[in-house]
Structure 1
């Protein structure tokens, strides 16, 4: 048993968590046959079956159920070991994995990361556009840019700036439907908002606007799609002011609408503070995001 392979334990956990070889292979960026071989080799070493294979996926056996918590504890210790090691990495070369919302990843970060590559060509960048909060402890990402303060333990989070928001429409929409001047005017317009996500409705109710889901005649939970619909003239939407300033034909409407600003938090695991590579990227992004806020 002394030749137990950590990769096989990690594979076992991925299959246990996803319930599928296909999903686990996707999450680990492996091929399904390679992942299946890892599971088979682990089962051979342990002398027990870990999963029941069926049409509905991979179901843990009694042995698998008994071992999954122990395997997770091993994974947590390995993750912490790797974080400690990364924190003492003195190189300015290597990979930095950054996660941010789709809006930030698509509209804000590309120009910043282009400048970063010019300044630090030896740093390899992995960008993960994702609105879900990444697990920085498990190294799903090294650095996260978020619009809410992370609540995970062992994280360092710095509030970089506040980005103002506004309500906007394309000139083609205004020419067709007119320009709303008050909050009440919005009731007679095509407003673009969230579908299942209720953050915008909650914020509007806090501002004294008794909005329901039907207030939005066009609904999507993808903020990039929503902004593109605004630019296409489909309706009135909400966006960061600097995005609107850079978009041809976009006009601000109801400028007195009291929309709260959007905080920007830069986050990493505290064990990475001593990594020169991570520190360099965090410092670079801090200056870039502050510069962005300064020009709004």
Structure 2
């Protein structure tokens, strides 16, 4: 046989077929053509022809055979060791790719209520951006009702919103458990007063959210006021948390705020917590999405990433920052 050393290297590389190398490896491992043919689901002539072609391409005899003799030559042993190494590397391709993800790019639109303060969302955004820096985000701050409508109409991929009960057409997961409590501003006559009860508040004017109605998103607040016999007028209302907070701080009336939102104002002397001490109502913040919407790869990747972070934390520990 002619040595390949005198041939064009590029021509030799192009002519070499991995299937021939694999067939040779199996022939050596099985110790014969017949067993190799059975393992490869090929006919004996096909295996013999493949071995012959490989020897012709390499210019070396790899196996001495004939008359019941089967002996791997020195050249065959060397080639066999290399082929086993190559085969081992190829078989690891899947494992090598498990830690490598295709670079995701695209845009994610989120619909969100105001003043969402939770480390789960912040950490998910940070880690996702580090992993997929090409993805861009748009966050639209809306009322909870607008978030629900946007998800149902598929104008947004992911919603961060209040949800008092499961909503038809949407799936959701609790992002943060929060409690609303009543407060008054520094100019209010109840500021810094102790030993008060809910009974003392019943005639006070009230500031609240637009959705603080029996059929609204914050209906637990309306239920509380009705149950306790609150008779004061609703002086101010808004769908924006910051504006409700502003009216309470300015003394228009007493009103509800999430405890974690009001905490800095209480510490600074701008707000004063009122009874009941356990709060008025728990109203959780949810991550919501429309399961019938066809999300873009970036949207689906971020939703999966966020839900994965959330579900690693027990619901009882999903507290606002």
Q: Select which of 186, 191, 200 maps to 2:201.
A: 186
C-alpha separation in 2, matches of 1:91 and 1:187:
58
C-alpha separation in 2, matches of 1:251 and 1:91:
50
TM-score (norm 1): 0.54
**Greater CA deviation, 137-146 or 171-180?**
171-180
RMSD of Structure 2 on Structure 1 (CA)? 4.0
**Greater CA deviation, 196-205 or 221-230?**
196-205
Q: Give 1:277 deviation, angstroms.
A: 3.3
- The alignment partner of 2:286 has SS state of strand
Q: Select which of 99, 116, 123 maps to 2:125.
A: 116
Question: Given the alignment of the two structures, is residue 254 of structure 1 paired with residue 291 of structure 2, yes or no?
Answer: no
C-alpha separation in 2, matches of 1:143 and 1:209:
37
Q: Residue 204 of structure 1 aligns with which residue?
A: 224
**1:145–1:119: structure 2 CA closer, same or farther, 3 Å change rule?**
closer
Structure-to-structure mapping, 1:1-296, within 5 angstroms = 91-104=103-116, 108=117, 116-117=125-126, 120=129, 121-131=133-143, 132=146, 133-148=148-163, 149-153=165-169, 155-174=170-189, 181-194=196-209, 198-199=213-214, 202-204=222-224, 208-211=227-230, 215-224=232-241, 225-247=243-265, 248-249=268-269, 250-256=271-277, 259-270=280-291, 272=295, 275-283=300-308, 293-294=318-319
- The alignment partner of 1:134 has SS state of helix
Residues 203, 230 of structure 2: 8 Å contact kept: no
Tell which structure's C-alpha radius of gyration is larger: 2
C-alpha separation in 2, matches of 1:219 and 1:129:
21
Residues 180, 279 of structure 2: 8 Å contact kept: no
**Greater CA deviation, 224-233 or 186-195?**
186-195
C-alpha separation in 1, matches of 2:225 and 2:191:
29
**1:230–1:285: structure 2 CA closer, same or farther, 3 Å change rule?**
farther
Q: Give 1:141 deviation, angstroms.
A: 0.8
CA-to-aligned-CA distance 1:153-200 (integer Å, 9 cap, x gap): 3x4322334211111123343577956811221134343235685245
**1:139–1:119: structure 2 CA closer, same or farther, 3 Å change rule?**
same
C-alpha separation in 1, matches of 2:178 and 2:119:
18
C-alpha separation in 1, matches of 2:287 and 2:192:
40
TM-score (norm 2): 0.50
**1:282–1:257: structure 2 CA closer, same or farther, 3 Å change rule?**
closer
Residues 169, 235 of structure 1: 8 Å contact kept: yes
C-alpha separation in 1, matches of 2:225 and 2:190:
29
For structure 1, the residue ranges without an aligned partner over 5 or more in a row are: 1-88
For structure 2, the residue ranges without an aligned partner over 5 or more in a row are: 1-100
